[in-house]
Each structure stands twice: as C-alpha cells, then as structure tokens.
Amino acid sequence: MGHPRYTGRWRSTLGLELVMHNKSRIRFFSFSALILALSLMFFGASSHSSTPPARRPIQWGLYQILWRPRAYAQQIKDESAHFASKPHYIMFYRDLGRVYPKGPIDAIRSQNATAIVSLELWSWHGKRKTSYLPLIIEGNYDDFFRQWATDAKSHGQRILFRFGFEFNGDWFSWSLKPQDYVKAWKRVHHIFQDVGATKVEWVWSPNVVSCPNTDDNNMHLYYPGNEFVDWVGVDGYNFGEHHDQWHQWQSFDEVFGDTLKQFSDRYPSKPIILSEFGCAPGKPKQRSDWIHDAFDKINRNAQIKAAIWFNLDKRREGEPNWRIDVWPESLQAFNKTFAAPLSSDSTSTR
C-alpha cells in the first residue's frame, strides 16, 4: 500500500466566434441560435454524459486472510454471507517457503470462486531485507517454481497469479530494481510455460503510485512485455484524513484516475483488475458515497473487468480498518453496487 498523493484535472473548452456585417445577419444568427438552444434542450438531454451507462457484469472479489487452511472454506462461506451475491474471486498471500496451495484453492473453488494467489518474493521466516531477485535470476529457485508449475498443471484449476506485486514500492525487498524484476518474471514465466501450466493467468500488479516517485522507479519500467502478462492490475487505497501526514481523503479518481489512464494508453489489449482497493471508514455516508462513486467510475471503464476489496482490519499494523462492514451503510452501498446480483451472473463467466 503506497502514498497516492496526486490530483488529476482536465479541462475542456469550446470557442465559437461569429463575424456579422449587418443587422439582418445578426437577426438571422440570433434566430438560428435560439432554434439550436431549444433543440439541445429537448433532444440533447437524453444523451447527457452524466447519465450512467447500463450496468455491466463487473466481477468482484475479496481478500480473505488465510490462517487455517482446513477451515478456509468455512471462513469464505461465513464472510460471503454478508453480501448480496457470492464473490467471483478470493485473494490470499503466499511466500517463497511454501508448497503450491492446492488446499486453499480447492476451498475457494468449493465456494464457486476463483483463487488469486499473491506471491511475496521472500520467505516469511527468512531475511526480509534481502532481495531474492538475484537468487531467482540465477536459478536457485527453479526447482521451487517448477514444482509449483507442475502442481498447478496437475491440479487443473484456473488461478490468477500475482508475482511479486507492488514492486514499485520501497516497503518490499524485491522493489526498486526494474531490470532484475523483469528478468525474474520472465525466468519464472518460462518455467510455467515449459511445464504447460496453462491455467495460470499472470497478473502484473504495481502500486498505484511509485514510492519513491522518480524516473528510475517508474512503474512501467517493470513491465515484462505483453507476451508475459495476462492481466494488468493496480493496488490503491483511500487512506482517509487521519492516517498520517502523507494522506488525505481522496476520491476514486484522485487515487486511480491517472494510473488507469496510463494503463488504457499503454496496455489497451489487456484486461484491468483492481487487484487491491479499499477506502478508510471515514464517516458512514462519506464511505458509502465513495463506494457508489467508485462503482460508477469502474462501470464506465469497460477495460476494468474485476475489482478486489481488501477486506481486513489492519489497525494493529497502523492502517485503517478496511472491512466493508465497518458501517452498515458501507456494506449496504457495496451490496447495491459491486455485489448486487445480476440476472446474467453465472459461474460460466468466472
């Protein structure tokens, strides 16, 4: 999670100049202008840009922390019961020291959802300040990834795979080295291809703002190339006004607008997933309004195919309580937008 601190503004102007040389022309143009204005009033209102488009089937999901693998299916079931429809995706984290998570993926599939596996490129019980990228590049983890790929192929379940996410943020040891990151990504991707793990979909997932926000840490320097990426993702949060001196209350556009525009310009053929998003509790109506606005903006961007709410209380780690049910109003807003059932909603689209 980073420090999104930018505001995107754009302006549209239209200039019109008419030069007339006598009174008859003035009367003619005035009458024409009147007719034009009346036409716009009566016939243009129906196509006004503020009219929301028809709702499209945006696939939504949750981050569900994985504590006890054997109880994971029940945890997902209990959590999903809060919502008006079942999530399409459930996301969880793994590290370099663990076997392919067949059990948790099966638990997610039993709830009619698809797993998003977010792999942290370090060992949770090892040295977190040391970058593992050189070891991956040199082949020290080839056996580890080949076993993951083999297990994924034999398992036969579709998963989304977030390899070393938020690489442009200085809070992870695999960050700030774009060339090494791309080399590591390509090496591991080749292993999965060689094994034939074709149901693994690769999600490239930067933080919404690079930290530090410098030219040599531009998020796009970490992009390995279209042939190695299935989804482009982005992690971003509205931390609210009371988190720290770097954050303030931000609209959805203020958090995501600039980055989503860059994605549309640079990667127009790739589906976009909001791989982590959330909003600080704020006040009840303030947060529910943010959710409605976020859904409207996402609904208008046809390239965005999925959005994953980070559904965890992180106050013990010094972050906001991201849980959607902090306020009844925010849960209700979510159920009226992202989780609202669709008549066309079915497992065939997942």
How far is 114 from 109, CA to CA, in rounded Å? 6
Looking at residue 56, what is its pLDDT? 77
Q: Are strands 89-94 and 304-309 parallel, antiparallel or unpaired?
A: unpaired
How far is 87 from 74, CA to CA, in rounded Å? 14
pLDDT surpasses 50 at 16: no
Please give the tally of structural domains in the chain: 1
Is the residue at 5 inside a domain? no
Sorting pLDDT into bands at 50, 70 and 90, what band is 283?
Answer: confident
Is the residue at 171 inside a domain? yes
What are the angstrom distances between the C-alpha of 293 and each of 68, 102, 287?
35, 37, 10
Q: How does the average pLDDT of the chain come out, rounded?
A: 86
Is the residue at 125 inside a domain? yes
Sorting pLDDT into bands at 50, 70 and 90, what band is 343?
Answer: low
Is the residue at 269 inside a domain? yes
Domain that holds residue 297: 64-337
Within 8 A by CB and 6+ apart from 166, the residues are: 1, 2, 172, 175, 205, 206, 207, 235
Looking at residue 337, what is its pLDDT? 97
Predicted structure pTM score? 0.83
Kindly report, residue by residue over 1-13, the tens digit of the pLDDT: 544 333 332 222 2
Is the residue at 342 inside a domain? no
Sorting pLDDT into bands at 50, 70 and 90, what band is 23?
Answer: very low
Is the residue at 273 inside a domain? yes
pLDDT > 70: percent of the chain: 82
pLDDT surpasses 60 at 268: yes
CB atoms within 10 A of CB 199: 12
Kindly report, residue by residue over 176-205, the tens digit of the pLDDT: 999 999 999 999 999 999 999 999 999 999
Is the residue at 8 inside a domain? no
Cβ pair 116, 90 in contact under 8 A = yes
For residue 100, give the CATH number of its domain.
3.20.20.80
Mean pLDDT of 67-89: 95
Mean pLDDT of 334-341: 96
Is the residue at 51 inside a domain? no
Kindly report, residue by residue over 135-161, the tens digit of the pLDDT: 999 999 999 999 999 999 999 999 999
